Amino acid sequence: MAADEDIPPPDSKLTRSKRSWARVGRFLTGRSSQPETDRLPPGQKLTTGFPVLDLGMQPDIPLAEWSLTVDGLVEKPAVLTWEQLNALPQVTDDFT
């Protein structure tokens, strides 16, 4: 059978290498398996903390001048001051 010709003998160098790789957790390519990083796009790294997405500069806005505008496709548009926002009911979720 032609298929049997493609199977290396039980003690070939390839078979010994594959057994050795399996013992140390390597792929058939011979490199270590790192599933947490193998799926990342080139140039990116795995982060374990929440990423801070800013340019390193935060505007200095006095809380007396701060406001939140809620408008658009909402039933009740509103503009809230910092004090009004903090006076709204608050909920803390524990996701741990």
* pLDDT (mean) for 27-32: 58
Residue 30 carries which DSSP code? S
Is 81 within 8 Å of 67 (Cβ atoms)? Answer: yes
Residue 67 belongs to what H/E stretch?
strand 67-70
pLDDT at 96: 62
CA 60 to chain centre: 31
Task: From 23, 20, 24, 2, select the one nearest 12 (Cα to Cα).
Answer: 20
pLDDT at 63 over 80: yes
The reported pTM is 0.40
